[in-house]
Amino acid sequence: IYLLAPGGAFELLGWQALGPSNGSAPRRGDSNRRPFDRQALGQNALVSNSHCSVVPKYYQQILALVFAVKEINKNSNLLPNVTLGFHIFDCYFSERMTYWATLELLSTHYRFVPNYQCDKQKNLRAVIGGLDFEISLHMAAILGVYKIPQVRDAGQSQSTSFYRMVPNEAHQYTGIVELLLHFGWTWVGLLAADSESGEKFMEILQTLLFQRGICLAFSERTPKGSYFEEYYEMIPQWLQAYLAIAESKASAVVVYGEAKSMFYLQLWLAAGEAENVTSMEKVWIMTAQLDFSAVAFQMSQSMQPFHGSICFTVHSNEVQGFKTLLRSLNPFMAGEDGFLQLFWLQTFYCFFSKSSTEFSEPCTGLEKLDSLPSSGFEMSMTGHSYSIYNAVYVVAHALHDAMYRSRAKDRGIVRRWRPQLQKFQPWQLHPFLRSVSFNNSAGEEVSFSENRELEAGFDITNLVTFPNNSFIRMKVGWMNLDAPPGKEFSINEDKMVWHRSFHQVGHDFRKLQLQCVPPLSQCNKNCPSGTRRKKKEGEKFCCYDCAPCSEDMNDCVGCSEDHYPNRNRTQCIPKSISFLTLEEPLGMSLAFGSVFSSLLTILSLAIFMKHQDTPIVRANNRDLTYVLLLSLLLCFLCPLIFLSRPDRVTCLVRQMAFGVVFTVTVSCVLAKTITVVLAFMATKPGSRMRKWVGKRLASAIVLTCTIIQAGICTVWLGTSPPFPHFDKHSVTGEIILECNEGSAAMFYCVLGYMGLLATVSFVVAFLARKLPDSFNEAKFITFSMLLFCSVWISFVPVYLSSKGKHMVAVEIFSILVSSDGLLGSIFFPKCYIIILRWVSYLLSVSFFQAKHTQLPQPLLIRLGFPPIIFLAALLCTCSAHILPHENIMGYFAKSLPELKIYYDHSILLILMP
């Protein structure tokens, strides 16, 4: 493996088959490269080992790569008989050195001849690194030509060879806006690097801030450059940015840039604090690209200005064994580590030579990394180190898949290169990188999205600093747009620590104490009661003055649509959302009516099925009767859909279900009526109606009528379907959540079509009411259709004059009453007749037994009948004597032959002493 170090711009990963890695790192100033280096690249190629030549914090990233490579080489299951090796290159934050190092990958070792390779030890397979945005793009410009995979955690490119070990930038943009809105920070500053990535960040973020009502107090760009070059040229631009931050009233400042930006910002803030120029009471909101990467001389600078900062960081986790590796480092046992002594020298200010100076002491090896400030070195694995660790495993798993995956589409590739591992080309690794997915040693899944970005989110951390210039990162939230709805952004305020300057006096009933609270970052404080906002001329929309409200003024500031004013009209109160539910008495009553009517329908259906061979059931088209009862059952169940929170699905289902089910019900009634009429017309000699009599006609009527209604509903859904709607104006203090019908015309078309069928049924049944037949139910159908039409004619004006939950209750009540009218008028008399036939049969048997045995006991004692059956028999027989045959009860008695013969004897037996 090739790794570049303290400058840390990028790492280059290769692999080596059936042989050990040399683990060597090219030294700066190697004589084999020199003529080209000195002449073409100048003195940047030769940097002395001074205290300014190394950024110590990048050493952890080197160790993360080495740690991952050693783990993979020890794992016999991942890459058996294959050993990974590495080399490290430094770009010195220079474009020229970046191009040189990238081209050297394409050359034979120690011979700078691009496209010429005869080195068996140098089998490049992928490149890892590119912490800086511009450096990554410079690398991609060359690597993309050869389609060499480049895996790193910085930069964006359209190249298909580019794999990012960080999530999509959209997560970070959205997270910053959500964070500002969460704390009510509407007046913020923006500091971004003067580069292509900084320009893009400013453009996108400013648009999002404006859309969400957040204003920018200032927006400054920080100059780019290396750690030490062109410092004096950057002073004017940094001074302008520093003064803008110091003079602004904005407490929240968003900072975007690279590690160098943080280096200079820390330098300027420390200088201002040392000179007591001004106190920076700010909340720094830092993006994931930033990191505290102090050089050796800077580790003594104060970190207090960043206390309480909020950082978006690449997600990281502790890898088992990594801290143990850090604690075991010893400069006198460096072995193949060519960086350890240099790192030790520059971080602990000691020398390994026998002669010490008056400024430093000899290195003993007893120095502890734990004692270093966090800006110089962190004992916990950072997000960038964690990304490099995962990147090495990504390449290793891709190689493993390429060697052992047996899917049909990959067999051709595998067969070609397995016998010749040395000839395997880097571009052949891309299909395996795109599909790689595994769980790392920390138990977290690692995989890429379609855009070759890591499928993960950003952690939100709170920076807590200490007097010794160390700090810890406390995780307080996360941002992940791929999370379930409502859980994309999360933050825990209780865990957060704020800068000590943001405090207020709090009272805990016993003593006064200072409490750190979230700061305010607004152009103006909220106007108190009795005042109104008055826009400042020439200022941004977030800035205003608070002017006293005049008495009897002509205009005032209105509340938003989801608020309403209090009685004194000095405050806006949020409206409550209202819709009909099962929890309130009205909803419970309607639900009880729906369930009770459904049970009665099931009972009626059970009676008809129990006595399906009786004449009254067979004479009324048994199959059509079952369909009518089932459709009535569905009609009674429809109101339950109305008694739930309106959403997209329920709004679509409830009106469509109501229209289709009711159409089936009314068409069944129409079919029964037409069947009776045609049956009597067919009895006439020579009538042509005989061919129409039968079950096919009834089925055709029901099916045709239902298809027409289904077509109307389909047109309704296709043109203007119902949808949930928030009515914020009809009722004061409430937001009515209702189903908007979408098209009122289509809704009334559905009702009108049902009304047409009911009217036709009513007319036909009315004309057939006097037809002679024991089982002629035209009178009952006439009455039921009259009730049905009356209910729905009354429904229209009441429905239009109702609002909110009462409008839904009116529709449910109309459904229940009209359905109960059909059930009670058509089926209750039939059920009564069926049950009464059974009672009369028992009475006739009892009469013959009494006549032959001549027992004088009363009927109740002699027969042992329950009282309710006795009362039913008494009512039935009395009605046959008292009521005319044209009346309903007389009709019942007339319809039963047994009861017609024996009712006189039954009365005599009942009246016996």
* Alpha carbons 752 and 763: distance in angstroms, whole number: 16
**CA nearest to 193, candidates 172, 219, 213, 174:** 219
Sequential DSSP letters for 184-220: T--EEEEEEESSHHHHHHHHHHHHHHHHTT-EEEEEE
In terms of domains, do 742 and 600 share one? Answer: yes
- Sole residue written with tokens 């200022």: 539
In terms of domains, do 905 and 820 share one? Answer: no
pLDDT above 60 (res 820): yes
As a whole-number percent, the residues of the chain with pLDDT over 90 amount to: 13
Domains of the chain: total: 3
Between 605 and 107, residue with greater pLDDT: 605
Bridge pairing between strands 503-507 and 734-740? unpaired
**CA nearest to 162, candidates 393, 407, 449, 367:** 449
Give Cβ neighbours of residue 614 (< 8 Å, ≥ 6 apart).
834, 837
* Alpha carbons 287 and 461: distance in angstroms, whole number: 11
Between 19 and 806, residue with greater pLDDT: 806
In terms of domains, do 410 and 341 share one? Answer: yes
Tell me whether residue 61 is in a domain.
yes
Bridge pairing between strands 572-574 and 576-578? unpaired
pLDDT above 60 (res 854): no
Between 909 and 654, residue with greater pLDDT: 654
- Characterise 420 by phi-psi region: left (phi > 0), alpha (psi -120 to 50), beta (else): beta
Q: What is the mean pLDDT of residues 59-76?
A: 90
Dump pLDDT digits (tens) for 577-604: 888 888 888 889 999 999 999 999 999 8
What per-residue confidence (pLDDT) applies to 511?
A: 40
Dump pLDDT digits (tens) for 194-236: 888 888 889 999 999 999 989 999 999 988 765 555 667 788 8
pLDDT above 90 (res 322): yes
* Alpha carbons 188 and 170: distance in angstroms, whole number: 20
What per-residue confidence (pLDDT) applies to 4?
A: 33
* Alpha carbons 571 and 610: distance in angstroms, whole number: 67
| pTM attached to this predicted model | 0.56
Amino acid at 478: W
Q: CB atoms < 10 A from the CB of 872, how many? A: 17
SS3 204: helix
Q: For residue 806, what are the CA distances in angstroms to 313, 669, 731, 778?
A: 52, 30, 12, 36
Rg (CA), the chain: 44
Sequential DSSP letters for 873-901: HHHHHHHHHHS-TTSHHHHHHHT-HHHHH
* Alpha carbons 173 and 387: distance in angstroms, whole number: 20
Q: Predicted confidence band at 276 (pLDDT cuts at 50, 70, 90)?
A: low
* Alpha carbons 704 and 701: distance in angstroms, whole number: 5
Which pair of structure tokens corresponds to residue 8?
């840390």
User: Bridge partners of 121?
Assistant: none
Between 211 and 294, residue with greater pLDDT: 211
Q: Predicted confidence band at 694 (pLDDT cuts at 50, 70, 90)?
A: low
- Find out whether 284 and 253 touch, Cβ atoms under 8 Å: yes
- Among 70-84, 195-209, 359-373, 509-523, the minimum mean pLDDT is found in 509-523
Tell me whether residue 553 is in a domain.
no
pLDDT above 80 (res 692): no
What per-residue confidence (pLDDT) applies to 229?
A: 59
Q: Which of 447, 482, 504 is the last residue of a domain?
A: 447
What per-residue confidence (pLDDT) applies to 175?
A: 92
**CA nearest to 463, candidates 322, 313, 264, 248:** 313
pLDDT above 80 (res 341): yes
pLDDT above 90 (res 177): yes
Q: For residue 588, what are the CA distances in angstroms to 256, 602, 644, 734, 806?
A: 57, 21, 12, 21, 14
pLDDT above 80 (res 717): yes
**CA nearest to 324, candidates 72, 67, 75:** 67
Structural domain boundaries, residue 80: 2-166+320-447
365-403 in b/e form (b: 16+ CB < 10 A) is eebebeebbbbbbbebbbbbbbbbbbbbbbbbbbbbbbb
Average pLDDT, the chain: 75
Beta strands in 201-348 (DSSP E): 215-222, 252-256, 283-286, 310-314
CATH number of the domain bearing residue 442:
3.40.50.2300
Tell me whether residue 562 is in a domain.
no
In terms of domains, do 875 and 802 share one? Answer: no
Which pair of structure tokens corresponds to residue 606?
């059970």
- Find out whether 605 and 626 touch, Cβ atoms under 8 Å: yes
What per-residue confidence (pLDDT) applies to 142?
A: 86
Q: Which of 423, 447, 471 is the last residue of a domain?
A: 447
In terms of domains, do 771 and 898 share one? Answer: no
With 0-12 / 13-18 / 19 or more C-beta atoms within 10 angstroms meaning exposed / middle / buried, residue 531 is: middle
What per-residue confidence (pLDDT) applies to 71?
A: 93
Tell me whether residue 326 is in a domain.
yes
Tell me whether residue 277 is in a domain.
no
- Characterise 329 by phi-psi region: left (phi > 0), alpha (psi -120 to 50), beta (else): beta
Tell me whether residue 127 is in a domain.
yes
* Alpha carbons 17 and 424: distance in angstroms, whole number: 11
CA geometry: angle at 903 spanning 901 and 904, to 5°?
Answer: 95
What per-residue confidence (pLDDT) applies to 910?
A: 35
Between 270 and 368, residue with greater pLDDT: 368
Between 400 and 91, residue with greater pLDDT: 400
In terms of domains, do 818 and 867 share one? Answer: no
Bridge pairing between strands 503-507 and 512-516? antiparallel
What per-residue confidence (pLDDT) applies to 393?
A: 93
What per-residue confidence (pLDDT) applies to 337?
A: 79
* Alpha carbons 60 and 385: distance in angstroms, whole number: 7
In terms of domains, do 798 and 861 share one? Answer: no
Listed ranges 154-163, 188-197, 422-431, 835-844; the one with the highest mean pLDDT: 188-197
Q: Predicted confidence band at 853 (pLDDT cuts at 50, 70, 90)?
A: very low
* Alpha carbons 531 and 550: distance in angstroms, whole number: 9
Give Cβ neighbours of residue 763 (< 8 Å, ≥ 6 apart).
none
CATH number of the domain bearing residue 775:
1.20.1070.10
pLDDT above 90 (res 537): no
Tell me whether residue 803 is in a domain.
yes
* Alpha carbons 747 and 655: distance in angstroms, whole number: 8
Listed ranges 145-154, 298-307, 704-713, 742-751; the one with the highest mean pLDDT: 704-713
* Alpha carbons 898 and 839: distance in angstroms, whole number: 10
Dump pLDDT digits (tens) for 866-877: 444 444 444 444
Dump pLDDT digits (tens) for 616-642: 777 667 788 888 899 999 999 998 888
In terms of domains, do 817 and 859 share one? Answer: no
Q: Which of 447, 469, 497 is the last residue of a domain?
A: 447
- Sole residue written with tokens 């040399």: 22
User: Bridge partners of 218?
Assistant: 189
What per-residue confidence (pLDDT) applies to 69?
A: 92
- Sole residue written with tokens 């990147």: 391
Bridge pairing between strands 187-193 and 10-17? unpaired
Dump pLDDT digits (tens) for 429-487: 888 998 999 999 888 899 988 888 888 888 999 999 888 878 888 999 988 877 777 77
**CA nearest to 14, candidates 60, 65, 50:** 65
In terms of domains, do 6 and 152 share one? Answer: yes
In terms of domains, do 812 and 878 share one? Answer: no
Do you know the residue count of the chain?
A: 913
Q: What is the mean pLDDT of residues 240-258?
A: 89
In terms of domains, do 701 and 601 share one? Answer: yes
Q: What is the mean pLDDT of residues 267-284?
A: 75
Q: How far apart are the first and last CA of the chain?
A: 117
What per-residue confidence (pLDDT) applies to 553?
A: 58
Tell me whether residue 212 is in a domain.
no
In terms of domains, do 778 and 893 share one? Answer: no
Amino acid at 158: Q
pLDDT above 50 (res 348): yes
Give Cβ neighbours of residue 728 (< 8 Å, ≥ 6 apart).
561, 562, 575, 735, 736
What per-residue confidence (pLDDT) applies to 885?
A: 38
